[in-house]
Amino acid sequence: MNQQNDIEALQAEADDFRQTFAQVREEIGKVIVGQDRVVEATLTALFCGGNVLLEGVPGLGKTELVKAMSHVLDLKFRRIQFTPDLMPADIIGTNIMQTDEHGRYRFEFREGPIFTQLLLADEINRASPKTQSALLETMQEGTVTTGGYIHTLDQPFFVLATQNPLEQEGTYPLPEAQLDRFLFKVDVPFLSRADLNEVVSRTILKPVVEVHPLMNEARILKLRQVLSKVVVADPIRDFACRLVLATHPGSEFATQDVQRFVKWGASPRAAQSLIKAARVRALSQGRAHVAFDDVRHFANEVLGHRALLNYDGQAENIMVTSLIQDCVISLPEEAA
């Protein structure tokens, strides 16, 4: 009887998650047009406790997406414009000398813009590797270490970074260690004719639409606790692991194109990310268990930025996402 009650309670939590996820997507959709996949991936990463790297040309609504999320989720929001002269202290803060009421000097930590909950790192690849590395600890641990002290950021904390795929002059490619800290890398496509007309209509020809808060930080953290209850069967866990191994050229699961064009495959963190994202996807569909399709759903976003092409792959302009899709299609659900 207790087991039946537990199953019913978990299903009720899954139904609540599905309803909440749909409401948040719909509210953000009042502002963001034609980017359903981007919105879904961004919200999924947020509920996973991960970070997102958006790649797209300017003007596609990346900044508006984060602003809309901050309003709907009722979270603190800050934006950092990354430039070549940006220094780590400009992001995390610095110690300044102050005098107390007795006239004695002491150091006081002045918080940088990273002390927020939703952080937009705009054009992150324009800053030097030294400055980019200032985000590594925060993205992984949710802390900032400076002057020998560890400062813990308020949760939930979420980094949404952007980069422009066209203008590469004066940019610094993101190190593999930092790319691996992003749960997803999401390509933001250009709008269709209908969506472009809708954007112009909403932003110029009609009154500006306002979004309303639907959640808060306590509600988000409570929903995150449901993720650990979602059932992941052993064959599905193994499928996610085999999918990661399929991106490695030396693996028995790799396709011929992976063997030929890939230098190094996805890290173990990718397998963790696949399971986390699959759990959110299952809950957003109202299910308390993960299916194989949930693992496949975000395979490109999880694996695409973690697999490195070799010289032949770069010379032939091979699309990593195409290699990932081949792996997804060819990998059997049942292990040999």
Question: What pLDDT digit, counting tens, does each position of 163-215 carry?
Answer: 877 666 667 778 787 888 899 999 888 888 888 888 888 878 777 778 888 88
How is residue 23 written in tokens? 């409401």
Q: Is the pLDDT of residue 1 over 60?
A: no
List beta partners, residue 120: 79, 160
Greater confidence, 271 or 168? 271
Q: Alpha-carbon distance 225 to 49, whole Å?
A: 11
Question: What residue ranges of the chain are covered by domains with CATH 1.10.8.80?
Answer: 230-336
Q: Label residue 155 by pLDDT band (50, 70, 90).
A: confident
Q: Label residue 2 by pLDDT band (50, 70, 90).
A: low
Q: Alpha-carbon distance 55 to 40, whole Å?
A: 15
Count of beta carbons in the 10 Å neighbourhood of residue 95: 15
Question: What percentage of the chain has pLDDT greater than the value 90?
Answer: 26
Mean predicted lDDT score pLDDT of the chain: 86
> What would the mean pLDDT of 296-325 be, rounded to a whole number?
91
Question: What residue ranges of the chain are covered by domains with CATH 3.40.50.300?
Answer: 13-84+114-226
For residue 284, the model assigns a pLDDT of 92
230-336 in CATH: which number? 1.10.8.80
Q: For residue 200, give the 3-state DSSP assignment.
A: helix
Q: Alpha-carbon distance 117 to 25, whole Å?
A: 19
For residue 205, the model assigns a pLDDT of 74
The lowest-confidence range among 5-14, 241-250, 258-267, 317-326 is 5-14
For residue 242, the model assigns a pLDDT of 93
pLDDT in tens, 100-144: 777 777 777 788 888 888 999 888 888 888 888 788 888 888 888
Tell me if 313 sits within 8 A of 262, measured CB to CB: yes
Tell me if 118 sits within 8 A of 155, measured CB to CB: no
How is residue 13 written in tokens? 């939590």
Q: Is the pLDDT of residue 290 over 90?
A: yes
Tell me if 186 sits within 8 A of 321, measured CB to CB: no
pLDDT in tens, 67-79: 888 889 988 889 9
Q: What are the angstrom distances between the C-alpha of 275 and each of 12, 154, 184, 272, 329? A: 21, 25, 13, 5, 18
Q: Label residue 8 by pLDDT band (50, 70, 90).
A: confident
pLDDT in tens, 17-29: 999 999 999 999 8
For residue 167, the model assigns a pLDDT of 63
Single-letter amino acid, residue 66: V
User: Could you tell me the fold of the domain covering 13-84+114-226?
Assistant: Rossmann fold (3.40.50)
> What would the mean pLDDT of 28-44 be, rounded to a whole number?
88
Q: Alpha-carbon distance 276 to 281, whole Å?
A: 9
pLDDT in tens, 44-66: 999 998 899 998 877 777 888 88
Q: Alpha-carbon distance 51 to 157, whole Å?
A: 9
For residue 169, the model assigns a pLDDT of 64
Q: Label residue 87 by pLDDT band (50, 70, 90).
A: confident
Q: Is the pLDDT of residue 5 over 80?
A: no
Residue with tokens 């990273």: 114
Please choose, from the candidates 41, 44, 151, 43, the residue with its C-alpha nearest in 3D space to the C-alpha of residue 91.
151
